[in-house]
Amino acid sequence: MPKVKFIPQNREVEVEAGTTLLNAADAAGLYIEGDCAGKGTCGKCRVKMIKGGDAEPTAAEKKHLSKKELLGGWVLACQRKIEKDSIVEVPIQKDAHSRKITLAGGIEKLEAEPVIKKTHVKLDRPSVKDQTADLERLLGALGKEDLTVKPRELNALPKMLREHKFSVTATISGNRIISFEPDDTSDQMYGVAFDIGTTTIVGSLLDLKTASVIAVSATTNPQNIYGADVISRITHANQGKEQLQQLQNKVIEAANDIIKDLLKKTKIARDRIYEIVAVGNTTMSHLFMGIDPTYLAPAPFVPVYSRALDVEAAEIGLKINPAGRVTFLPNIAGYVGSDTLGVILATKMDQRSDNCAAIDIGTNGELVLKTRDTLMACSTAAGPAFEGAQIRQGMRAAAGAIEAVAYKDNDIKVTTIDNVPACGICGSGLIDAAAALLQAGLIEPSGRFFNFEENPEKVSDHFKNRLRRGKTGIEFVLVPAAESDIGEDIVLTQNDVRELQLAKGAIYAGLMILIKEAGIQEKDLDQILLAGAFGNYVSRESALTIGLLPQLPIDKIKAVGNAAGDGARVALASKSERDRAVKLPHQVKHMELSTRLDFQEFFIEAISFPKI
Ligand code: FES
């Protein structure tokens, strides 16, 4: 079997001849960026063959790679099959998670009301006169005779008592003792809150005694290899038990990596983590629990379950205290998951008496509207454009991503994350770029680029060399090759603008349906909350300029950070909040947009940009 060595990560793996480089990298535990599940359509899984890459380029490689790149050994990892020993250079992935980590713990103060209880007791030693059994002796001291315990945990008790002078701490979850620890460990009680995103997984370690977030870690959701969107993953799961297991393994491994990182950062012992509370969209929730989400894909989009699911950590392979509990918060509907519930929980929207909308833009776009009379939610098929997918040089918000574009002094200026040379464009940059080009008159309200070929005299000198005809139509050069990090121009294409229009049109139309259904008007909105990393970094002015949001005064639009993840933290920290989370789905009216004829009307209206 041929061997493949990946550098500079220095990982080596042996694979069957004919295995793609993408799958070989996966087998070596390496993640290679790509959005199309290996179909060869996104062109993002570029790697460089140092040895063993002398096969003819495939049609997809010829389409996505320039002649210079092909000659330089660049290939698409999903297209290139390994036939002999190879050495492959994988570009170092830029850290795309720092913003999500920064936003974690955005809630000012969490109330500590842990579900888990730890009690330390010092027992009387048994004697011939007092032959009470160990467990009954302990329960008597705890004053809780009705607690249960499994043989696995009970087995550890007798020796522990005798080796530690009958000083023991019992950890109690509900009516069950889940662990015995020698001596007094009652001040060591931790839990992890997970936000399981389609693209990114974020874990926060909480000290349950104080409800404080003590460390945060994030990673790419490695299910990405099966596609950037939930439908691709459902399709993969639908192929059989093995494929479903692959998807569950990927997400559980990623969660375990995050736990490992959190423990390394804090030097806390693994078995002192007793609880995990997770949120995610409904598909993520199913895959995390290993439940087949097949019937979520076709209408009527029915999930297997919507209630909170509670399992033992060891049951699904999560490496915390083996008897620790894992709770995935309830989903609202097939495409409105516990992440949206988390937004409601963290922002306390349900308790507001004014008119407030929340928009959480990630790989999908979820919307919530609270008015005096109703609380409603829906999901729009906005697509992952705001995460950089389906955008020619789209990328996630990592160093080098164009994050801001401004039209100033008759020129278009770009700013990148960390002010390093540009290597692509992220969601906030995409919206800014469209807004700036609209202001400059280079994009028309219809979304078409200004036809500079018919009216060359109307293009200012500044833009003469930047507006040009590319392979797929007119495009605008945001950063020339000489200044970019990737040795090629970074452009905004006509297709990128179209993708943006579809995404923003879907979100706006979804919001309009909720507003109509609630019997209010746009102007009646008292506040719009923008949730998620995207919501935090997007320019509110640009979002208004392109018509992503209703035309409200800017001070009515507020970023609330990673509210979905905050929801998981709130529910982990507080029993009352967890109880509230369990009941919340019953208060939320779900609006299914696919059956609404007026959605199409709003959508078509919203696709155009507002006139400047
Ligand atoms: S082209 Fe390879 S993953 Fe998309």
pLDDT digits (tens, 9 = 90+) for 276-327: 999 999 999 999 999 999 999 999 999 999 999 999 999 999 999 999 999 9
- β-bridge pairing 411-416 and 401-408: antiparallel
pLDDT of residue 95: 62
pLDDT, tens digit, 9 for 90 and up, residues 378-397: 999 776 677 777 888 988 88
DSSP secondary structure code for residue 113 in this structure:
B
In a domain, 122, yes or no: yes
Any ligand 1 atom below 6 A from CB of 38: yes
Q: Which residue pairs from 592-597 have beta carbons closer than 8 angstroms and sit at least 24 positions apart in sequence?
A: 592/300, 592/301, 592/333, 592/378, 593/378, 593/379, 593/380, 593/509, 593/510, 593/513, 594/299, 594/301, 596/513
Same domain, 494 and 520: no
Cβ(467)–Cβ(459) under 8 Å? yes
pLDDT of residue 32: 86
Any ligand 1 atom below 6 A from CB of 225: no
Q: How far is CA 225 from the centre of its chain?
A: 15
* Substitution site in 20, 69, 76, 80 for ligand 1 pocket (most atoms within 8 Å of beta carbon): 76
Distance (Å) of CA 142 to CA 35, 125, 171, 551, 575: 55, 15, 11, 60, 21
Kindly give the number of the ligand 1 atom that is closest to the alpha carbon of 60. 1
Kindly give the number of the ligand 1 atom that is closest to the alpha carbon of 41. 1
- Which residue's alpha carbon is nearest to atom 1 within ligand 1? 40
pLDDT, tens digit, 9 for 90 and up, residues 425-444: 999 999 999 999 999 999 99
pLDDT, tens digit, 9 for 90 and up, residues 313-371: 999 999 999 999 999 999 999 999 999 999 999 999 999 999 999 999 876 789 999 99
pLDDT of residue 206: 96
CA–CA distance, 328 with 293 (Å, rounded to integer): 15
Any ligand 1 atom below 6 A from CB of 78: yes
In a domain, 596, yes or no: yes
Q: Separation of 42 CA from ligand 1 center, angstroms?
A: 5
Q: Separation of 99 CA from ligand 1 center, angstroms?
A: 25
Any ligand 1 atom below 6 A from CB of 76: yes
Backbone angles phi, psi at 394, to 5 degrees: -70, 150
pLDDT, tens digit, 9 for 90 and up, residues 171-193: 999 999 999 999 999 999 999 99
Q: Report the CATH number at residue 127.
A: 3.10.20.880
∠ CA 331-336-342, nearest 5°, is 65
H/E run at residue 140:
helix 134-142
Residue 261: CB partners within 8 Å, gap ≥ 6?
Answer: 217
Any ligand 1 atom below 6 A from CB of 57: no
Provide the 10 A C-beta neighbour count for residue 365. 27
In a domain, 526, yes or no: yes
Which parts of 267-383 fold into alpha helices (H)?
282-289, 338-347
Any ligand 1 atom below 6 A from CB of 36: yes
CA–CA distance, 141 with 102 (Å, rounded to integer): 44
Tell me: pLDDT of 416 over 90: yes
Same domain, 291 and 254: yes
Last residue of a domain, one of 150, 182, 214: 182
Any ligand 1 atom below 6 A from CB of 40: yes
Cβ(386)–Cβ(403) under 8 Å? no
Q: Which of 482, 218, 514 is nearest to 379 (CA)?
A: 514
Residue 452: CB partners within 8 Å, gap ≥ 6?
Answer: 458, 459, 463, 467, 474
Q: How far is CA 164 from the centre of its chain?
A: 45
Same domain, 355 and 413: no
pLDDT, tens digit, 9 for 90 and up, residues 42-82: 888 989 999 987 889 999 999 888 888 888 899 999 999 99
Any ligand 1 atom below 6 A from CB of 384: no
Residues 17-39, mean pLDDT to the nearest whole number: 88
Q: 23-50 burial string, b = 16+ CB within 10 Å, else e?
A: bbbbebebbbbbbbbbebebbbbbbbbe
Same domain, 399 and 459: yes
pLDDT of residue 98: 66
Any ligand 1 atom below 6 A from CB of 43: yes
In a domain, 95, yes or no: no
Domain that holds residue 205: 190-328
Provide the 10 A C-beta neighbour count for residue 67. 9
Cβ(474)–Cβ(560) under 8 Å? no
CA–CA distance, 225 with 469 (Å, rounded to integer): 33
For the chain, the domain total comes to 5
Same domain, 562 and 519: yes
* Substitution site in 21, 32, 33, 41 for ligand 1 pocket (most atoms within 8 Å of beta carbon): 41
In a domain, 493, yes or no: yes
Assigned token pair, 56: 């003819």
Which parts of 471-562 fold into alpha helices (H)?
494-518, 532-537, 540-545
Maximum alpha-carbon separation in the chain: 106
Burial class (CB in 10 A: 0-12, 13-18, 19+), 261: middle
Give the residue with greater pLDDT, 396 vs 129. Answer: 129
Tell me: pLDDT of 420 over 80: yes
Q: Report the CATH number at residue 24.
A: 3.10.20.30
Same domain, 362 and 393: no
Q: Separation of 418 CA from ligand 1 center, angstroms?
A: 27
Last residue of a domain, one of 162, 182, 202: 182
Rounded to the nearest integer, the mean pLDDT of the chain is 92
Provide the 10 A C-beta neighbour count for residue 262. 21
Kindly give the number of the ligand 1 atom that is closest to the alpha carbon of 42. 4
Q: Report the CATH number at residue 511.
A: 3.30.420.40
Dihedral, CA atoms, 557, 559, 562, 567, nearest 10 degrees?
-60
Q: Which of 291, 328, 345, 332 is nearest to 193 (CA)?
A: 328
Tell me: pLDDT of 94 over 80: no
Q: 437-454 burial string, b = 16+ CB within 10 Å, else e?
A: bbbbebbeeebebbebee
pLDDT of residue 53: 79
In a domain, 53, yes or no: yes
Residue 191: CB partners within 8 Å, gap ≥ 6?
Answer: 114, 116, 205, 206, 208, 273, 274, 275, 276, 277, 572
H/E run at residue 76:
strand 74-76
Kindly give the number of the ligand 1 atom that is closest to the alpha carbon of 36. 4
CA–CA distance, 382 with 364 (Å, rounded to integer): 6
Same domain, 31 and 66: yes
pLDDT of residue 283: 97
CA–CA distance, 221 with 101 (Å, rounded to integer): 15
In a domain, 334, yes or no: no
Any ligand 1 atom below 6 A from CB of 286: no
∠ CA 115-119-120, nearest 5°, is 160
Same domain, 323 and 197: yes
Any ligand 1 atom below 6 A from CB of 44: yes
Dihedral, CA atoms, 261, 263, 267, 271, nearest 10 degrees?
-160
Same domain, 275 and 217: yes
Last residue of a domain, one of 159, 182, 205: 182
Assigned token pair, 377: 């939610």
Same domain, 317 and 307: yes
In a domain, 269, yes or no: yes
pLDDT of residue 385: 75
Cβ(339)–Cβ(366) under 8 Å? yes
CA–CA distance, 456 with 421 (Å, rounded to integer): 30
Tell me: pLDDT of 584 over 90: yes
Tell me: pLDDT of 239 over 90: yes
Q: Report the CATH number at residue 207.
A: 3.30.420.480
Same domain, 148 and 290: no
Q: Separation of 63 CA from ligand 1 center, angstroms?
A: 12
Kindly give the number of the ligand 1 atom that is closest to the alpha carbon of 79. 2
Assigned token pair, 590: 């779900």
Any ligand 1 atom below 6 A from CB of 80: no
Same domain, 402 and 437: yes
